[in-house]
Amino acid sequence: MKDIILTGDRPTGNLHLGHFIGSLKKRIELQNEGNYEKYYIMIADTQALTDNAQRVDKVKNNIIQVAIDYISAGIDPKKVNIFIQSMVSELHEFTSYFMNLVTLSRLQRNPTIKEEIKQRGFETSLPIGFINYPISQAADILAFGTTIAPVGGDQMPMFEQAREIVNSFNNTYKPQEEVFVMPKAIVSENKLFQRLPGLDGKLKMSKSAGNSIYLCDDEATVREKVMKAYTDANHLKVTDPGQIEGNVVFTYLDAFCREEHFARFLPEYENLDQLKEHYRRGGLGDVKVKKFLVNVLEDFLAPIRERRKECLNHIDEIYNMLFENSRLASIDAKERLEKMKDAMGLNYKKFLK
Ligand code: TRP
């Protein structure tokens, strides 16, 4: 059986390099392999509202931004159904019934939620919708029969939760035929790429930490950000030996640079290993490495920027595509919703003679 792929992002800001390396790259690969039955990418506005209830405008305005980021990064809306979560109302029904299968303490143990509660200062005033979002996300995943989901490493606990709900549903309602499929998250094997570090070298790259390079940043911005990026605090003089581990400039090179970049931008070296070796030994300055990184990133970002410009001339078409795709996604979700209710015995029409 071919895969059903579903993944998504919250529309709270533009996508950055962390999104690209963490999952977008894999999403594009899966799209181009073409070995799937259905492929959905959800713009998770409902989930974004769980910690942005007062900022509806921000969420609303970012829907088109995220859609443009997808398309300019290489997602083809002809091959992938990009839809808006809140326009698929069936998802709320799944969520309601799943909520009876999960305990509050289970949600409180979710490591991603735990961290997010801290980040947001929600310890003393936790919105129910927020702590509940792993259940709502399980609905997103299970409603479509998702088999695989290319996501960032922080999403693993959400898939564990979704699998637990499948088991719990099966134990509780003992469906005669399979209703829900066990989903699997696909994450980068490289731990660093699962959560690409931010420019500060401390936290992962994230919108809220203000330490990100965005897919839509212009060249001057990219340059400025890279020049300020954290390298090695003990590498003060060019002659000092430098450290690669924890040095974000090298981490970004690991993620983005290819051998051909050396021939084009830094022909004194053949490859990244040689460059690293020189840095470790001493005698290689940060500025030189950073300038190289700017070139490498520009090679990647310039075509994305061009496609973004193109998209900006087709905003209406992109909105119409999102609306139509949401309508189609809704039809797909409805099918499984009926199966679920049948399995639960919520089929009152059977009382009719
Ligand atoms: N939680 C994801 C994020 O923060 C977004 C998301 C919502 C998602 N529903 C999903 C991801 C279903 C994968 C599958 O980016």
Q: DSSP of 76-87, one letter per residue? A: -TTTSEEEEGGG
Ligand 1 pocket residue status of 206, Cβ below 6 Å = no
Contact 66, 11 (CB under 8 A): yes
Amino acid present at 76 = D
Local confidence pLDDT in tens for the 353 residues of the chain:
899 999 999 999 999 999 999 999 999 999 999 999 999 999 999 999 999 999 999 999 999 999 999 999 999 999 999 999 999 999 999 999 999 999 999 999 999 999 999 999 999 999 999 999 999 999 999 999 999 999 999 999 999 999 999 999 999 999 999 999 999 999 999 998 999 999 999 888 988 888 999 999 999 999 999 999 999 999 999 999 999 999 999 999 999 999 999 999 999 999 999 999 999 999 999 999 999 999 999 999 999 999 999 999 999 999 999 999 999 999 999 999 999 999 999 999 889 98
- Residue 65 inside a domain? The answer is yes
**Buried (b) or exposed (e) across 17-54, using 16+ Cβ within 10 A?**
bbbbbbbbbbbbebbeeeebebbbbbbbbbbbbbbbee
Q: Are residues 119 and 257 in the same domain?
A: no
- Ligand 1: residue whose CA is nearest its atom 13: 7
Ligand 1 pocket residue status of 155, Cβ below 6 Å = yes
Contact 113, 107 (CB under 8 A): yes
Residue 274, helix vs strand vs coil: helix
List, edge to edge, every strand of the sheet that includes 184-186: 81-84, 36-43, 3-9, 148-150, 184-186
Give 272-309 pLDDT, tens digit per residue: 999 999 999 999 999 999 999 999 999 999 999 999 99
Contact 156, 164 (CB under 8 A): no
Q: Which of the 8 DSSP states describes residue 244?
A: -
- Residue 160 inside a domain? The answer is yes
- Residue 212 inside a domain? The answer is no
Ligand 1 pocket residue status of 311, Cβ below 6 Å = no
Give 72-118 pLDDT, tens digit per residue: 999 999 999 999 999 999 999 999 999 999 999 999 999 999 999 99
Index of the ligand 1 atom closest to the CA of residue 6: 14
Q: What is the pLDDT of residue 93?
A: 98
Index of the ligand 1 atom closest to the CA of residue 152: 15
Q: Are residues 239 and 299 in the same domain?
A: yes
Q: Are residues 44 and 67 in the same domain?
A: yes
4 DSSP β-pair partners = 38
Q: To test ligand 1's pocket by mutation, which of 47, 49, 52 has the most ligand atoms within 8 angstroms of CB? A: 47
Ligand 1 centroid–CA 8 distance in Å is 5
Ligand 1 centroid–CA 151 distance in Å is 8
Q: Are residues 301 and 334 in the same domain?
A: no
Q: Are residues 64 and 137 in the same domain?
A: yes
Query: Is the overall model pTM greater than 0.85, yes or no?
Result: yes
Q: What is the pLDDT of residue 200?
A: 95
Q: Are residues 37 and 150 in the same domain?
A: yes
Ligand 1 centroid–CA 323 distance in Å is 19
Q: Which domain holds residue 226?
A: 219-309
Q: To test ligand 1's pocket by mutation, which of 14, 151, 165 has the most ligand atoms within 8 angstroms of CB? A: 151
Ligand 1 pocket residue status of 8, Cβ below 6 Å = yes
**Buried (b) or exposed (e) across 98-126, using 16+ Cβ within 10 A?**
beebbeeeebeebebbeebbeeeeeeeee
> What is the count of structural domains for the chain?
2
Q: Which of the 8 DSSP states describes residue 13?
A: S
- Ligand 1: residue whose CA is nearest its atom 8: 8
Counting beta carbons within 10 angstroms of the beta carbon of residue 173, is it exposed (0 to 12), middle (13 to 18) or buried (19 or more)?
middle
Structure tokens at 149: 């989901």
Ligand 1 centroid–CA 149 distance in Å is 9
Q: What is the pLDDT of residue 343?
A: 97
